[in-house]
């Protein structure tokens, strides 16, 4: 059987994989970070990108080599070598991927436990979602509530207790790397510790109807004192029948976005990323 420079192919694959990996992890894939969960999650993603770069490089190098070496010349009607398999090789490419994915699963499990660990004194924020608006309640602050905007202190763990009023919605703040569906009939929760002061955007990520793409809210992370002032300034308590019609909710949403001056040509234009206010 004619020799194949397997060692050289392996080295080339690793080299190309390394180049891809180095280039890929320069990119800030998940965008800006704003919570303690972002670090471990982004590191996990970088690990996966590195492993994936090598996998992709191996597939491409071996495919490319096969085409370079064994592409037929016109008129050649002969057959290839009748090789039916190689048990050792087949075991190798069964076992190594198994080890890799089990490693990935174990690592993910550790990260998951890490980011969902609950502190001793979290702040509880109730989230009420409906077509197409967000409202927020502060049960430990006299059950005061806020429409379309919420504040949290920096550096303290927050537990969101989420309730959907009509259909499914989903709570996503990209900088925090957390997401959780709001499910009618049950209360779901999410844990996050914001570690960066600024203004962010809460995005609905579960299809909820015509206003889905504009169902957003303003997220403000600020120092404890400013937060205390803001939360004291809230006047109304969470009403009993917290349910607006979809039209009313959409109108509130429009007012909020108009006040932000962010509507512009787009219903969801940035109120946040482009002008993150450092305070």
Partner 1 sequence: MAHALREPGWYRAALGTLIGAAFGFGLVVILRLVSGLDAFQTEQTGYPQVIVPLITAPFGFLIGFGAFSYWFRWAAGKPTVPDDHSGHGATRWQDYFTFNTDHKVIGIQYIVTTFFFFFVGGLLAMLIRAELAQPGTQIVDPNVYNGLFSTHATVMIFLFIIPMFAGIANYVLPIMIGAPDMAFPRLNALSFWLLPIAGVIFMGSFLAPGGSFDAGWTGYAPLSTGAPLGQSFFNVGVQFAGASSIATSVNFLVTIITMRAPGMNLWRMPLLVWANLSTSLIVVGATPFIAGVQFMVLFDRIMGMNFFNFLEGGDVLSYQHIFWFYSHPAVYIMMLPGFGIISEVIATNARKPIFGYRLMALALLGIVVLSYSVWAHHMFVAGMFSWLRVPIMITTLLIAVPTGIKVFSWLGTLFYGKIHTYSTAMLFALGFIVTFTVGGISGVMLGMVPLDIHMSDTYFVVAHIHFVLFGGSVFTIFAGIYYWFPKMTGRMYDERLGRIHFWGTMIGTWGTFIPQHWIGLEGMPRRVADYASQFGEWNLVISFFSLILGLAQLVFLYNMVVSWKYGPKASGNPWRSKTIEWLVSSPPPTFNFDEIPRVVGGPYEYGTPGARHAIMGDEDAEATVPEPKPSSVPAAT
Nearest residue (CB) to partner 1, 94 versus 240: 94
241 three-class SS: coil
Nearest residue (CB) to partner 1, 15 versus 101: 101
Burial of 253 (0-12, 13-18, 19+ CB in 10 A): buried
CB of 44 to partner 1, least distance (A): 6
CB 122 within 8 A of CB 191: yes
**Whole-number Å distance between alpha carbons of 65 and 42:** 34
CB of 15 to partner 1, least distance (A): 19
| DSSP class of 35 | B
Nearest residue (CB) to partner 1, 70 versus 236: 70
| DSSP class of 122 | P
Nearest residue (CB) to partner 1, 143 versus 266: 266
| DSSP class of 74 | T
Q: What is the DSSP string of 153-193?
A: ETTS-EEEEEEESSS-EEEEEGGGTEEEEE-BTS-EEEEE-
Nearest residue (CB) to partner 1, 172 versus 227: 172
CB of 87 to partner 1, least distance (A): 8
**Whole-number Å distance between alpha carbons of 131 and 59:** 46
- The single residue listed with the structure tokens 């994989």 is 17
CB of 259 to partner 1, least distance (A): 18
**Whole-number Å distance between alpha carbons of 173 and 31:** 11
CB of 102 to partner 1, least distance (A): 7
**Whole-number Å distance between alpha carbons of 63 and 215:** 46
CB of 228 to partner 1, least distance (A): 29
**Whole-number Å distance between alpha carbons of 163 and 142:** 19
- The single residue listed with the structure tokens 């198994």 is 98
Please give the helix or strand (H or E) that residue 8 lies within, else none.
Answer: helix 6-26
Please give the helix or strand (H or E) that residue 259 lies within, else none.
Answer: helix 246-260
CB of 275 to partner 1, least distance (A): 12
Nearest residue (CB) to partner 1, 7 versus 27: 27
Nearest residue (CB) to partner 1, 80 versus 241: 80
CB of 201 to partner 1, least distance (A): 8
> What is the separation, in whole angstroms, between the first and last Cα of the chain?
70
Nearest residue (CB) to partner 1, 89 versus 278: 89
């Amino acid at each position: 059987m004619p020799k194949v420079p397997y060692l050289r192919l392996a080295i080339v694959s690793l080299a190309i994989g390394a180049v891809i990996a180095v280039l890929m992890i320069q990119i800030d894939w998940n965008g800006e970070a704003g919570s303690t969960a972002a670090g471990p999650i982004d590191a996990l993603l970088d690990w996966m990108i590195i492993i994936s770069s090598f996998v992709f490089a191996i597939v491409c190098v071996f495919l490319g080599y096969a085409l370079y070496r064994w592409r037929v010349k016109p008129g050649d009607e002969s057959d290839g070598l009748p090789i039916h398999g190689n048990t050792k090789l087949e075991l190798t490419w069964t076992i190594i991927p198994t080890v890799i994915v089990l490693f990935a699963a174990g690592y993910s499990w550790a990260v998951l436990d890490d980011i969902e660990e609950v502190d001793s004194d979290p702040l509880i924020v109730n989230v009420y979602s409906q077509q197409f608006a967000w409202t927020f309640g502060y049960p430990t602050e006299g059950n005061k509530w806020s429409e379309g905007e919420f504040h949290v202190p920096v550096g303290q763990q927050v537990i969101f207790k989420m309730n959907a009023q009509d259909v499914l919605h989903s709570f996503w703040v990209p900088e925090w790397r957390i997401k959780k569906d709001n499910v009618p009939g049950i209360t779901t929760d999410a844990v996050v510790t914001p570690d960066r002061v600024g203004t962010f955007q809460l995005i609905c990520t579960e299809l909820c109807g015509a206003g889905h793409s504009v169902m957003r809210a303003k997220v403000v992370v600020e120092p404890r004192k400013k937060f205390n002032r803001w939360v004291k300034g809230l006047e109304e308590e969470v009403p009993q029948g917290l349910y607006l019609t979809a039209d009313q909710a959409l109108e509130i949403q429009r007012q909020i976005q108009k006040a932000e001056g962010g509507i512009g040509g787009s219903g969801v234009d940035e109120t946040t990323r482009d002008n993150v206010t450092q305070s």
